[in-house]
């Protein structure tokens, strides 16, 4: 599903590379936590997977494709097979819950009939049945994140990337979000989640990948958070 072959990434005007010689493989259907302090390279890792950035050295394979060889105009098609969730939800405030989810399908040209069927279905799945007409501002943080997850999942991506999805949520709400991500993972979707939340990582007992100053320092199946911040 994802393979990094001795990947390095340095940004211009920065002496220290954000990633150094990272090699790893993530198989289909895995649930992976990406941990590390701020500036350890977690975001760069995710940006490379999304091909928002290109690796300076080494090869990044996502969904069987070498991203260095993927031409720019094919990138959107690749991204349609990825879902993304962020700490700040990134919902459109002037659209309803259903419209926010439908937006993800409209902009890739899905037929209207399909959208009308898929949106209530996915909202039901994330536990927001009956809240289709609400505006994001009327929802709690946990509910907004569920909308974002629904939007990421509505196109049934093979890979879901979550960048600190519980960063803005209280522990109880976070548990609900994690249960939802776990359920999505059980449908066969690979999940990569960058997080700082020790409790969640320790509870879930999934594979843990730890980065430190751009290096891969730990890759442990059924791991714990393991470092103090």
Partner 1 sequence: MRAQFVMSEIGVGLRRNLTMTFAVIISVALSLALFGGSLLMRDQVSAMKGYWYDKVNVTVYLCNKSDAKDAADAATDAAAKGDSGAVAKGPCAKGAVTPEQKQRIEADLKKLDLVQSVTYESSDEAYKHYKERYGQTALASVVTPDQMPDSFRVKLKNPEQYKVITSAFAGRDGVQSVADQSSEVDNLFSLLGTLNWAALGIMMIMLIVALLLIVNTVRVSAFSRRRETGIMRLVGASGFYIQVPFIMEAAVAGLIGAVLACVMLGAGQYFVIDHGVDLRHKLELINFIGWDSVFTKLPLVLVVGLLMPSLAAFVALRKYLKV
What does the binding site for partner 1 look like in residue numbers (CB under 8 A)? 50, 72-73, 76-82, 84, 90, 92, 103-104, 106-109, 112, 151-152, 155
Minimum distance, C-beta of residue 54 to partner 1, in the bound complex (Å): 14
The tokens for 166 are 């519980």
Nearer to partner 1, 40 or 100 (CB): 100
Q: Smallest gap, in angstroms, from Cβ of residue 71 to partner 1? A: 12
Report in angstroms how near the CB of residue 10 gets to partner 1 at its nearest.
Answer: 20
Which segments of the chain are extended strands (E)?
Answer: 2-9, 19-26, 31-35, 57-62, 65-66, 82-86, 159-163, 190-194, 207-212, 215-220
Instruction: Report the residue number, 84 or 174, with the smaller CB distance to partner 1.
Output: 84
In this complex, which beta carbon is closest to partner 1, that of residue 155 or of residue 168?
Answer: 155
Q: Tell me if 219 sits within 8 A of 47, measured CB to CB.
A: no
Q: How far is C-alpha 184 from the geometric centre of its chain's CA atoms?
A: 12
Shortest distance, position 65 Cβ to partner 1, whole Å: 14
User: Based on CB atoms, which residue is closest to partner 1, 30 or 99?
Assistant: 99
CA distance readout (Å), 20 to 16, 67, 196: 9, 18, 21
Q: What's the rounded Cα separation, in Å, for the pair 87 and 92?
A: 15
């Amino acid at each position: 599903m994802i393979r990094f072959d001795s990947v390095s990434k340095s940004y211009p005007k920065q002496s220290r590379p954000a990633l150094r010689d990272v090699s790893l493989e993530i198989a289909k259907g895995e649930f992976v936590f990406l941990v590390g302090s701020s500036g350890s390279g977690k975001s760069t890792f995710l940006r490379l997977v999304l091909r928002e950035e290109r690796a300076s050295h080494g090869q990044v394979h996502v969904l069987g494709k070498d991203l260095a060889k993927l031409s720019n105009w094919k990138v959107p098609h690749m991204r349609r097979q990825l879902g993304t969730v962020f700490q700040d939800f990134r919902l459109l405030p002037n659209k309803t819950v259903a419209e926010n989810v439908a937006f993800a399908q409209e902009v890739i040209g899905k037929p209207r009939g399909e959208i009308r069927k898929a949106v209530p279905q996915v909202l039901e799945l994330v536990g927001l049945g009956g809240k289709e007409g609400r505006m994001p501002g009327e929802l709690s943080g946990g509910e907004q994140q569920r909308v974002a997850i629904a939007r990421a999942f509505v196109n049934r991506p093979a890979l879901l990337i979550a960048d600190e999805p519980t960063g803005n949520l209280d522990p109880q709400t976070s548990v609900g979000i994690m249960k939802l991500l776990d359920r999505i993972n059980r449908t066969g979707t690979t999940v990569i989640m960058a997080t700082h939340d020790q409790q969640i990582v320790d509870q879930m007992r999934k594979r843990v990948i730890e980065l430190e100053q751009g290096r891969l320092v730990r890759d442990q199946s059924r791991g714990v958070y393991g470092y103090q911040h």
